[in-house]
Structure 1
Amino acid sequence: MSKSSSLYVDGDSFFHRMDGAVKLVLLLVWTAVTFLFLDLRIFVVLLVAGISMLLVARIPIKRMKFLFWMLTLFTLMNSIFILLITPRFGSTLTGSNTPLIPLGYDTINVETLFYVLTLSLKYLTLCPITLLFIFTTHPSRFAASLNKLGVPYKMAYAVSIAFRYIPDLSQEFRHILNAMQMRGLGISRGDGNLKQRMRNLSLVVVPLLQSSLQHIESVSDAMDLRGFGTKPKRTWYMGTRAMRSDKIVVLLCVLLLTVGIVLKLQVVQGFWYPL
């Protein structure tokens, strides 16, 4: 498979060999456990575990760099908005108020700053496991695994196509943007003020949509010519069998979810604030 046709990074690590459906279960359980809590201590443990799994997968940093910075930027913007819009929200969770940074119209307190730190770490906790799922899951194997779990093969194949098309869409965007820059419609700092650059960027949308619709039509025609959807079942060229290690991972996921629910109900029931 070419690099332009998928985000998948070829490898032979434990996570590359893992069944795609099992990795989906791991991702869903990890997400569920993360959103059960608002506790910095738990997020630190989960983040360290997630980074450790990402290191085991041995994915090149340059392949993950773009998505990592996108997730980090989203987290940073979300934190800034919370601090500016609700600078004393942390007081409603802790019952205390320790002024820290005056804003003129209000004051950011220590409680809100700690709440924003906890929330940011909560989102960052999902980053390693998400990157792990995206870059170690082959689209065709993942679709076959979903079909084994009972998902209709038409839906499973749609998921596979979506995985494959994301890099193509990104590459098409860059081609259109380069063509526009050659015509003097750039989006960098030297190409005008912010309003002009945003207007130039909006001009990319129409040709990108047209190109996307052409790709969709080509794929649809190719699938119709091959009789896709005429049979109630289909076989998979890259189908895999669940191994013993996959079953162990599923059991560990069930254990993780159980421990998370027990902790939520009996130990950690709200926002943890150390002061």
Structure 2
Amino acid sequence: MSQTMLGYIKQDSPIHYLTGATKLICLLLFSFASMLTYDTRLLAIILIFSIVMFKVSKIQFKDVAFVVYFILVFLLLNNIAIFLFSPYEGVKIYGMRTDLFKLVGPYTVTVEQLFYQFNITLKYLSIIPMALLFMVATHPSEFAASLNRIGVSYKGAYAVAIALRYIPDVQRDYHDIAFAQQARGIDMSKKEKLSKRIKNITAILLPLIFSSLDRIETISCAMELRAFGNNKKRTWYSARPFKKGDYIAIGVATAFLVVAFLMMIKNGGRFYNPFL
């Protein structure tokens, strides 16, 4: 799989043996645990656990490298925005101020602000491996069965499955069209001016939109011929019953959520304050 594509990657691992419903439930539980608390200790443990699970899945970093780089850039920009718009939020939260150095105007870097923004970054990083793992270790059809199992209508679940299934195809079409246009002399490299590059990109987007519409029409016709949507319920070929490993995984994820609640009670709130 190309590094710029993100989709299901088949591997022989304990993570792949779990049902789609189990992986979805675990992702939600870990997300709730991570979003509930700002306790650095628990977030660090969740991050380490997520990385270990990613390693257990046997998914190679190169398969998701492009997405990881994009996320890191987003986190960098997010931290810059937080500091620009709220440079003393950490001071308000932790009730102390320890200046490190002054920048310009009203901006002064403080230990408390750095710690606050570190925790925000840690919150994102703690759940990102789990989210990526869910995306690359869950087959779209199995994911649809999982959504339907937790109460989502099978029409909506199937729509999500189709979208996930064809993301790699759309990405592949984009690259094919881009290479074809470049072969015709349309330059989209950094050598061209930004305005010219934006104009040249439309030479890719229009064919991509039309090819996607053709694919949508083909899929719609095929589903209508199979009388999709006539019945209120349907069975799923990819659905699997829960096994021992599924219950263990859900139990571990639930334990993390319970610990997050306990840490909130112990800390007297969502924030862990090491400055007291």
d(CA) in 1 for partners of 2:71, 2:5: 22
Which residue in 1 is equivalent to 2:124?
123
**Code of the aligned partner of 2:100:** L
Secondary structure (helix, strand or coil) at the match of 2:104 reads coil
d(CA) in 2 for partners of 1:83, 1:185: 41
Which residue in 2 is equivalent to 1:15?
15
**Deviation of the 1:18 alpha carbon:** 0.1
CA contact (8 A) 1:101 1:107 kept: no
Which residue in 1 is equivalent to 2:88?
88
CA contact (8 A) 2:145 2:236 kept: yes
Moved more, 241-250 or 72-81: 241-250
Which residue in 2 is equivalent to 1:77?
77
Which residue in 1 is equivalent to 2:135?
134
CA contact (8 A) 1:91 1:112 kept: yes
Which residue in 2 is equivalent to 1:230?
230
d(CA) in 1 for partners of 2:45, 2:138: 24
Q: Deviations over 1:90-131 (max 9, x none)?
A: 222223333334332222322222222221111111111011
Which residue in 1 is equivalent to 2:52?
52
Distance 1:119 1:237, change over 3 A: same
Moved more, 247-256 or 112-121: 247-256
Which residue in 2 is equivalent to 1:62?
62
**Deviation of the 1:184 alpha carbon:** 4.2
Equivalent residue runs for 1:1-275 within 5 Å: 7-110=7-110, 111-192=112-193, 194-201=194-201, 204-267=204-267, 269-275=269-275
Identity of aligned residues (%): 38
d(CA) in 1 for partners of 2:21, 2:73: 29
Secondary structure (helix, strand or coil) at the match of 1:100 reads strand
**Code of the aligned partner of 2:172:** Q
**Deviation of the 1:242 alpha carbon:** 1.3
CA contact (8 A) 2:75 2:121 kept: yes
d(CA) in 1 for partners of 2:236, 2:270: 46
**Code of the aligned partner of 2:224:** D
**Deviation of the 1:183 alpha carbon:** 4.1
d(CA) in 1 for partners of 2:128, 2:139: 19
d(CA) in 2 for partners of 1:112, 1:195: 39
Report runs of 4+ in structure 1 exceeding 6 Å deviation.
none
**Deviation of the 1:76 alpha carbon:** 1.2
Count of matched residue pairs: 272
Q: What is the RMSD computed on CA atoms of the aligned residues?
A: 2.4
Moved more, 180-189 or 67-76: 180-189
Q: Which runs of 5+ in 1 are unaligned?
A: none
d(CA) in 1 for partners of 2:272, 2:188: 44
**Deviation of the 1:30 alpha carbon:** 0.6
**Deviation of the 1:273 alpha carbon:** 4.1
d(CA) in 2 for partners of 1:203, 1:265: 57
Secondary structure (helix, strand or coil) at the match of 1:234 reads coil
Distance 1:30 1:202, change over 3 A: farther
**Deviation of the 1:6 alpha carbon:** 7.4
d(CA) in 2 for partners of 1:122, 1:131: 15
Q: Which runs of 5+ in 2 are unaligned?
A: none
CA contact (8 A) 1:187 1:201 kept: yes
Distance 1:101 1:191, change over 3 A: farther
Moved more, 144-153 or 41-50: 144-153
CA contact (8 A) 1:75 1:124 kept: no
d(CA) in 2 for partners of 1:231, 1:145: 19
Distance 1:86 1:205, change over 3 A: farther
Secondary structure (helix, strand or coil) at the match of 2:64 reads helix
